[in-house]
Structure 1
């Protein structure tokens, strides 16, 4: 009898399911206007996708010193943190802005992430684009993809914000428009410091 139990034991162990591996950064969906960040998403959908423990609702800093309410993904993990500000704040549905602030694994479908260079974003867009000057709240924001591949026609716009190195001293500051192929803009060597999906109230 003992011999029979010993013989069967390995097969019994094999039938016990192994625990599912924890979702790592490689499992994150693209940072795009589809999937969990689609126009019709809500906080309940985020919880189903990322887990109850990874979605909290809290106040977050906004431009010009304001505070706004947002659903925050991975609030204790700066690399994976995402803020979703809702158009329908009461029901926490219909995203207005989806924001990534920190370097980490989030990438657009084209492979752009925090830290991407001006040249890398130009290559993904397939042509130069227009952005604002540096040194103010909305500095370094892409204003127009100028018909490139990163332009969206679905009511959701990918917006990137650039900043130059701390030691930068140049002449591409202020509330002015610049082409990304402007020689002074190229010389500033800015990189992406923030990524947004903006539904702009549509």
Structure 2
């Protein structure tokens, strides 16, 4: 394996002296092109449409160029996947030198990986600012094809972020840093239990604006599983923090906020709710059978109580909010759990 990467390194050094046909800045900029502009630009570079590509569709446009230089034939392919926000650009080349030049340019431009490449056949993910770049190598008919796929996220502007749900488009740690600044974002570890943990990112930690992002892809700190707002949530960063934090300021679009009284929550929902007692495994969490005006598929809650201790009715049983309000229990929303829509389609794949 060392010999393999050593060979790649030497080849990349040898390749830095020749003119680079495809520029990294061009690949990044192409994501803002329309397909008409992209088509016109590539036609001037001696590319032609590849209608036989298996990726060809009404929204995926493919192009190919074959050139010979000094006896070497190099095939280059582009794929332009139309999306409402920004196009996904895939570039493929049979030139290892060209591919190595591009990956070096990624590192020089500030892109980095969270997981070191140990298997040349395994895709490598680079992240920086609003961009993610996947690189991969595959062999077809004894020919190696080196692929670089570029995606750019169109993220909300700070002035447009008002509700907790407005944070869901920030689907990676890098997106958070690029918008809120490195001083306001930290990597952390969230504790479900003493033994169960999940890597997370926290914006404005230990302040009334704190939000915890739990990641599906823990390795690369990306793909939101859910957001946690409010409450005394245990992470490594909060374990040693003893100062009092005022109530969290984030609200849901549905009107729920941390500190909201149970009676107010019930009125907002237009009907009663049920939740688990304080000595159960899911203490204070809403039961699965709740219905009403609140969309519980998009918003979860954890409740706390100031006067429910040593009361059997509020320990292990499922509690009805009508009873709790009638008993004058001081129950309130401690934490919000904001749940994203899960994508129905897989991410765009590289051009072939």
**Given the two structures, how large is their TM-score scaled by the length of structure 2?**
0.42
Q: How does 1:1-202 map to 2 (within 5 A)?
A: 29-32=162-165, 35-38=166-169, 41-64=171-194, 66-75=196-205, 77-102=206-231, 103-144=247-288, 146-152=290-296, 157-165=298-306, 168-183=309-324, 186-198=327-339
CA contact (8 A) 1:172 1:184 kept: no
CA distance 1:190–1:27, shift in 2 (3 Å): farther
**Given the two structures, how large is their TM-score scaled by the length of structure 1?**
0.70
* Aligned-pair Cα RMSD in Å: 2.9
- Structure possessing the higher relative contact order (Cα contacts under 8 Å, 6 or more residues apart): 1
Name which of structure 1's ranges 97-106 and 164-173 shifts more when overlaid on structure 2.
164-173
User: What are the ranges of 5 or more consecutive residues in structure 1 without an aligned counterpart?
Assistant: 1-25
**Residue 132 (structure 1) shift:** 0.9
CA distance 1:169–1:150, shift in 2 (3 Å): same
How many Å separate the matches in 1 of 2:313 and 2:274?
Answer: 12
1:20 equivalent in structure 2: none
CA contact (8 A) 2:307 2:330 kept: no
CA distance 1:148–1:52, shift in 2 (3 Å): same
How many Å separate the matches in 2 of 1:201 and 1:64?
Answer: 28
1:146-185 deviation per Cα after TM superposition (whole angstroms, max 9, x unaligned)? 3212125xxx531111111157442333343222112577
Secondary structure of the corresponding residue to residue 176 of structure 2: helix
How many Å separate the matches in 2 of 1:93 and 1:84?
Answer: 9
**Residue 65 (structure 1) shift:** 5.2
Task: Report the count of equivalent residues.
Answer: 170
**Residue 139 (structure 1) shift:** 0.8
Q: Which has the larger radius of gyration?
A: 2
**Residue 45 (structure 1) shift:** 2.5
How many Å separate the matches in 2 of 1:166 and 1:138?
Answer: 18
User: What are the ranges of 5 or more consecutive residues in structure 2 without an aligned counterpart?
Assistant: 1-158, 232-246, 344-352
CA contact (8 A) 1:124 1:150 kept: yes
CA contact (8 A) 2:276 2:317 kept: yes
